[in-house]
Amino acid sequence: MRILKTGVFFLLVAAVFPRSGMAGKVVITSDSAASYAGMTLHFLTWHDLITYREDTLLTVKVKEDGTFEGSFTLDETVKVFVRPGIYEAWFYAEPGKTYNVMLPPRKDKTMKDILNPYFRPVTLQLGILHDGEKDLNRQIAKLEEIYSPYFYRHARQVLVDKKDTTLKRFIQSVRDTFTGVKNPFFTDFLNARMAMLTVMNLPERASVLEEYRDFGRKVLFHNPAYMELFNQIFNRYFNYLLHHKHKSRLIPALETTGYDSLVGIIKSDLALDEEDFVNMVALKGIYDAWYHNTFSHDKLMALLERFIALDGNPEIRQVALDIKRKFTWLQAGTRAPDFVLPDLDGQKIPLSGMRGKYVYLNFSSRLSYSSLREFPLLVRLQERYGNQLHIVTVALEDHPEILKSFVQEKGYGWTFLICGETCNLPAKYDVRAYPTYYLIDPEGKLALSPAPAPTEDFESKFRSLLKKVRKEGVSIF
C-alpha cells in the first residue's frame, strides 16, 4: 500500500490552512478581444473533481469593439476555463477580484476538428492584464514552469532506477523560491504538487501517517492539484482492497450495500477516523468500480443512494449526486436531454415538440462517409414507419446552405437540424463518432441508448419494441 497510506499524509498536510469562506463578486472583463467580436463565450468551472462535471459561471457576448464584461459570485478560489475555438484557456479566480483577460489570437475549429473524436484543444493559461508579480495566477504559472519538467524527468528516473536522489534538494529549492507567498490556496497547491513527487519516490509500504496524526484533515474539494493527487492515490481503491486483507469484509459490505461496514473498512485500512475524508475515499471507490465493472451496478447505485441520504456534509453529498447523475446520464428509461436547434429553413425546433411518436435521433455529417451510407436506409424507415417514428438528423455543419441543397437534391424528407461549431449538443449526448443514434419514446424518455444504426438492424429491434408495447396494451399513438 505504498501510495495509498503514504499519500494520505500529504493530503492531510495540504489541508491545514483555513479558508475564509467569504463570498465575493468576481468580475471578468476585456478590452482586447476584437477578433472575437460577436462570439459568445462561456466561462466554466468544475462542479466537482471526481466526475469533472462542468458548471457555467458566466456567459458573455463579445461586443463589436472587442470588449465584454460580466460577473459572478464565488465563496472560494476555483479554476475557471473558457474554450474559444481550438483553445482551452484557464486561470484561477479568487472571490472579490476583477480580471482583465487577454484571449489568445482567434483560431476557430474547422469542421474536421469538430468531427474528430480525438481532437484535443490547445491548453494555455489565460493572460491577465495588471496582474501583480505576487498574484495567485503568476505564482501558479511560475510553479508549474518549474514543476512540470522536473516531474517528467523524475518519473522516468523512478521508473528506471527506482529512486531519485535529487528529490529532497528539488523540493527544498521550490519551497525556498516561494517562501514569501502567503496565499492559502497557493500553499495547498504547492504542497500537493510536492506530495505527488514524494509519493512516487517512497519505498514499498513506507508510511509516515502516524507521525502526522495531529494535522488537519479537511478535503480541498476545488483545489485541482490536491484533487489530482487524491484521485491518483485512490485510483481503483476497491480493487486494491479486494487483493489485500479486506477482501472477506469488502464483498459482503458491497453485496448488502452496507454503508457503515464500508466506512469501517476504509477507516481501518487507512488508520484514519475523519468522516469527510473517508467518505470521499468511498465515493471515489464507487465511481471507479462502476466503470471497471468490478461489482454489480445495482449494488453500487444502492450504496451511492445511502451516501446521498446519510451524509451531512453538503459538498460530499453534492459529489455523490454528481456521481449518480453521471451514472444515470443517457441511461435507458431516463429523460432525453432536451434541445432547440434551427432546421434547414432557420425555424427553431424543440425536441420536446416531437412528443407522441418515437424519435430516431441521429448525429451525422455530410462529411462523414458512414453517415451518407446510411441516409438511404433512413429513407426506407421513413416510408415504412412515418406514422410512428420521427427521424431527426442533428447535422454537424458549418455551411447550412450546402446541406440544404444536398437534402433537397436527394429528396430526403425527414427533419434535419443544424448544429454548428459552437453547438455543445454532441457533448451532452456523449457523441464520440458519427453517426451516433438514440431512440426516444413518445414520452421523451430514452428507449434505446445508444440505438443501433440502420445497418445494425435497427428496424428489427424497433418492430420488436412496437410489438411489445401493443402486447402490453399501452396506447401511444
Q: Is residue 229 part of a domain?
A: no
Asked if residue 476 is part of any domain, the answer here is no
Q: Is the pLDDT of residue 90 over 70?
A: yes
Please give the pLDDT value at position 145: 96
Write the pLDDT tens digit of every residue in 232-274.
Answer: 888 888 988 888 778 888 989 888 888 899 999 988 888 778 8
> What pLDDT is recorded for position 196?
83
**275 and 357 housed in the same domain:** no
**Percentage with pLDDT > 90 across the chain:** 64
pLDDT in tens, 46-64: 999 999 999 999 999 999 9
Q: In CATH, what number is assigned to the domain containing residue 467?
A: 3.40.30.10
Question: What was the pLDDT predicted at 432?
Answer: 86
Give the pLDDT confidence score for residue 115 in this predicted structure. 83
Whether residue 398 is predicted with pLDDT greater than 60 in this model: the reply is yes
Q: Are residues 212 and 311 in the same domain?
A: no
pLDDT band at 335 (very low <50, low <70, confident <90, very high): very high
Does 248 share its domain with 192? no
Q: What does pTM read for this prediction?
A: 0.84
- pLDDT at 323 > cutoff 50: yes
Q: How far is CA 392 from the centre of its chain?
A: 27
List pLDDT tens digits, range 31-41. 999 999 999 99
- Does the residue 453 lie in any domain? yes
Assigned domain for 477 exists: no
Q: Is the pLDDT of residue 128 over 90?
A: yes
Mean of pLDDT values over 409-413: 94
Encode pLDDT of 214-226 as tens digits. 333 678 999 999 9
pLDDT (0 to 100) of residue 23: 84
- Asked if residue 263 is part of any domain, the answer here is yes
Domain boundary among 328, 353, 380: 328
If you average pLDDT over residues 11-38, what whole number do you get?
Answer: 73
Confidence of residue 118 (pLDDT cuts 50, 70, 90): confident
Q: Is the pLDDT of residue 150 over 60?
A: yes
Q: Are residues 371 and 321 in the same domain?
A: no
Residue 116 has a pLDDT of 82
The whole-number average pLDDT for the span 322-339 is: 94
| Mean pLDDT score across all residues of the chain | 87
Is there a single domain that holds both residue 6 and residue 152? yes
Average confidence (pLDDT) over 20-37: 89
* Whether 190 and 259 share a structural domain: no
Domain shared by 262 and 394, yes or no: no
Question: Which of 164, 187, 220 is at the close of a domain?
Answer: 220
Q: For position 133, what pLDDT does the model report?
A: 81
CA 321 → CA 180, 231, 329, 474, distances in Å?
Answer: 40, 18, 12, 33
**How would residue 200 be classed by pLDDT, with cut points 50, 70 and 90?**
confident
- Residue 167 sits in the same domain as residue 60: yes
Q: Indicate whether 421 pLDDT > 80.
A: no
* Domain contains 115: yes
pLDDT score recorded for residue 10 = 37
Domain membership flag for residue 307: yes
pLDDT band at residue 17 under the 50/70/90 scheme: very low
Total tally of structural domains belonging to the chain: 3
Confidence of residue 13 (pLDDT cuts 50, 70, 90): very low
3-state secondary structure the chain: CHHHHHHHHHHHHCCCCCCCCCCEEEEEEECCCHHHCCCEEEEEEECCCCCCCEEEEEEEECCCCCCEEEEEEECCCEEEEECCCCEEEEEEECCCCEEEEECCCCCCCCHHHHHCCCCCCEEEECEEECCCCCCHHHHHHHHHHHHHHHHHHHHHHHHHHCCCCCHHHHHHHHHHHCCCCCCHHHHHHHHHHHHHHHHHHCCCCCCCCHHHCCCCCCCCCCCHHHHHHHHHHCCCHHHHHHCCCCHHHHHHHHHCCCHHHHHHHHHHHHCCCCHHHHHHHHHHHHHHHHHCCCCCHHHHHHHHHHHHHHCCCHHHHHHHHHHHHHHHCCCCCCECCCCEEEECCCCEEEHHHHCCCEEEEEEECCCCHHHHHHHHHHHHHHHHHCCCEEEEEEEECCCHHHHHHHHHHHCCCCEEEEECCCCCHHHHCCCCCCCEEEEECCCCEEEEEEECCHHHCHHHHHHHHHHHHHHCCCCCC
- Check whether residue 351 and residue 403 sit in a common domain: yes
pLDDT higher than 90, residue 202: no
Residue with the larger pLDDT of the pair 9 and 334: 334
Query: Which residue range forms the structural domain that includes residue 382?
Result: 340-471
15 compared with 419, residue with greater pLDDT? 419
Q: In terms of domains, do 128 and 257 share one?
A: no
Residue 335 placed within a domain: no
Q: Do 123 and 79 fall within a single domain?
A: yes
199 and 314: one domain? no
